[in-house]
Structure 1
Amino acid sequence: MNGPLSQTFPAISPIVYGCMGLGGGWDHAPVTRDHVLQAHAVVDAALNDSITLFDHADIYTLGKAEQVFGQVLQERPGLREQLILQSKCGIRFADGHGPKRYDFSREWILTSVENSLKRLQTDYLDILLLHRPDPLMEPDEVAAAFEVLRSRGMVRHFGVSNMDQHQIALLQASLDQPLVVNQMEMSLTKLDWLNNGVQVNTGQQEGNHFASGLLEYCRSNHVQLQAWGCLSQGVFTGRSLDGQPEAVQHTARLVSSMAEELSVAPEAIVLAWLMRHPAGIQPVIGTTSPERIQACAQATRVQLSREQWYQLYVTARGTELP
């Protein structure tokens, strides 16, 4: 891996396994043995393909994703040392105290991490991310919470998710250690992060919702970009294309053709396209199918040429470059 996190974690994988699909449904039904066995299977599949970074959030399946993962760790002594664990906090669902909201208060960050560690049955997180920007964020208060977590050995590194460079810089100014991750939606169907750059000085930037300069900020400041939604809900890897835009259908055919030419799964082409970018982007995959995890892992042996990369980009755009 050539991304910034490789300097902090030499054994880190270029692909992240996202645990949002573990633990059953987004409801209060209890965790079952089948859910735990599923978690064992995906951990084995990931590790068999050298995927070592596992991404959680306190809200995933209402805490059950962390719970079943913790059960796996409890049942397999020594496994924790083979993994890099990342979780997120800051989103609160509607309850008796208020509507769905974001909460970067010192109290909520500390409580969230304490609960995540209990569910995961571990003493520490390698990385903690703030899940979505809180308009009421007080950077010094966040810094105080981070210092408590760091000094107690509960969290080793910190990052963010879904933030622009101004929000990151504001928070970073109050911190003693660098933010190491920013997780954003990036894929062949979510192209704002690329279009934002190539459309400079063209008059075509209206409607682009990716923060201008964020990509460059993260690269310049050694902030690891991680891509959620990177497989575009499977539209390029076997999902029905009925009703999909023409550009998506053309891209799906191109992905299939390239996969056949390079003797890999279509998932490998989709992820290799992201990983070809010099920012060293880490795709976050969320499938619970061991076979599909293996298909995704094939991306590490694919090196797309500049022409192949642009062919996928332009086809997915649905229009030639300016």
Structure 2
Amino acid sequence: MQKSHPVFSPLIQGYWRMAEWGMTTQQQHTFLKQHVEMGITTVDHAPVYGPDSACERMFGEVLALDSRMRDQIEIVSKCGIYRGEGKTVNHYNSSKAAIIASVDESLSRINTDHLDVLLLHRPDLLMDADDAAEAFAELSAAGKVKHFGVSNFTPTQFELLQSRLDQPLVTNQVEINPVNLQVTEDGTLDQLQRMRVSPMAWSCLAGGRIFTENSEQMTRLRETLAQVMEEIGASSIDQVIFAWVMRLPAKPVPIIGSGNIERVHAAAGALDLSLTHEQWYRIWVASKGHGVA
């Protein structure tokens, strides 16, 4: 039976740097409550975030402090990346056994009985789509995961997995920013728009490169973003970038990585901004270094 798509908040709070924020559990609870009150209710996790899955563990401690928060949020987590230890190498594993074990471990760390969305974190070159589909079906039947999606998948990888499922993949979490334009060119966003599946956009600020790198490309981008900022009444370049991402017709949902509530609040201001076609392309041209044909 086909399941309906989940409803994500218009922005997603990413917790991949939670272990670096230097907050007490009480401070983390306050931060969570504050962004939920802003309407940012979807949170993004993964077992590989933080040493020894620290970010999921810390978030679980927050929910243990106030279990009422669980009903106010949608939890996204992932599976499939394994860090090498000793003589082993970093690798991917999307087998049924690995997926189910990873979910059980995440549920225990996060202190919840279900995930709202589970993503395969990276394409596994050894993925058996039928095996992964069996894992999804078992987790769904057990009530441990409500919806499934992928992260960093190509269109053909997405279609392969979808062909084995009786419910829709609800997202593809991919990098989208004015520096890395790959998914705007390789068919990823075209496919998602056709299927009416909203991507989640990670690294919208290009890991800070736009602000710190002194290359010709980044200098052009900063100057153009500053011009557009003035034109649309934005309060920061960050807001312009988030607005640029959301202007894409596939309707990406940006993930915010900051643990500073003021920066989260500022990012939310992008929801009230709109770029014209010319302004959007002006930023594209600044990144590319040439105009359209």
For this structure pair, what is the TM-score category when the shorter chain's length is used for normalisation?
over 0.9
Q: CA deviation at 1:96?
A: 5.1
The 5 A counterparts of 1:39-78 are: 39-61=28-50, 62-78=52-68
Q: Mapping of 1:104-253 within 5 angstroms?
A: 104-194=94-184, 196=185, 212-236=186-210, 239-241=211-213, 244-253=214-223
Amino acid at match of 1:20: W
Equivalent AA in structure 2 for residue 257 of structure 1: Q
Aligned to 1:282: 253
| Whole-angstrom distance in 2 between the partners of 1:254 and 1:213 | 26
1:307 pairs, out of 264, 267, 278, with: 278
Q: Which amino acid aligns with 1:280?
A: K
State whether structure 2 residue 239 is matched by structure 1 residue 268: yes
Distance 1:165 1:24 in 2: 34
Which structure features the higher share of helix residues?
Answer: 2
| Change beyond 3 A, Cα 1:116–1:184 | same
2: CA distance, partners of 1:255 / 1:83: 33
In the TM superposition, what whole-angstrom CA distance separates every residue of 1:117-140 from its partner, at most 9, and x where no partner exists? 011111100000000011111111
How far does residue 35 in structure 1 lie from its aligned partner after superposition? 4.3
Q: Percent identity?
A: 36
Tell whether the 8 Å contact from 2:6 to 2:170 is kept in structure 1 after alignment. no
What amino acid does structure 1 have at the position aligned with 2:187?
G
Check the 8 A contact 1:45/1:294 in 2, yes or no. Answer: no
Aligned length: 289
Give how far 1:77 is off: 2.6
Structure 2 CA distance for aligned equivalents of residues 145 and 263 of structure 1: 45
Partner of 2:16: 20
How far has the Cα of 1:222 moved from its partner?
Answer: 2.6
Query: What is aligned with 2:88?
Result: 98
Query: Does the CA contact (< 8 Å) of 1:35 and 1:68 recur in 2?
Result: no
1:9 pairs, out of 6, 24, 28, with 6
Question: Deviation per CA, 1:154-181, whole angstroms, max 9, x where unpaired?
Answer: 0000000111111111111111111111
Amino acid of the structure 2 residue aligned with 1:103: N
Q: Write out per-residue CA displacement over residues 195-223 of structure 1, whole angstroms, 9 at most, x where no aligned residue.
A: x2xxxxxxxxxxxxxxx322221111233
1:240 deviates by: 3.2
Calculate the TM-score normalised by the size of structure 1. 0.84
1:235 and 1:98 mapped to 2: Cα distance?
A: 32
Corresponding residue for residue 206 of structure 1: none
2:198 maps to a residue whose letter is: Q
Q: Secondary structure at the match of 2:16?
A: coil
Distance in 1 between residues matched to 2:241 and 2:234, nearest whole Å: 14
Q: Is it true that 1:258 corresponds to 2:247 in the alignment?
A: no
Q: What SS does the corresponding residue of 1:86 show, helix, strand or coil? A: strand
Measured in 1, the distance between the counterparts of 2:208 and 2:191 equals 30
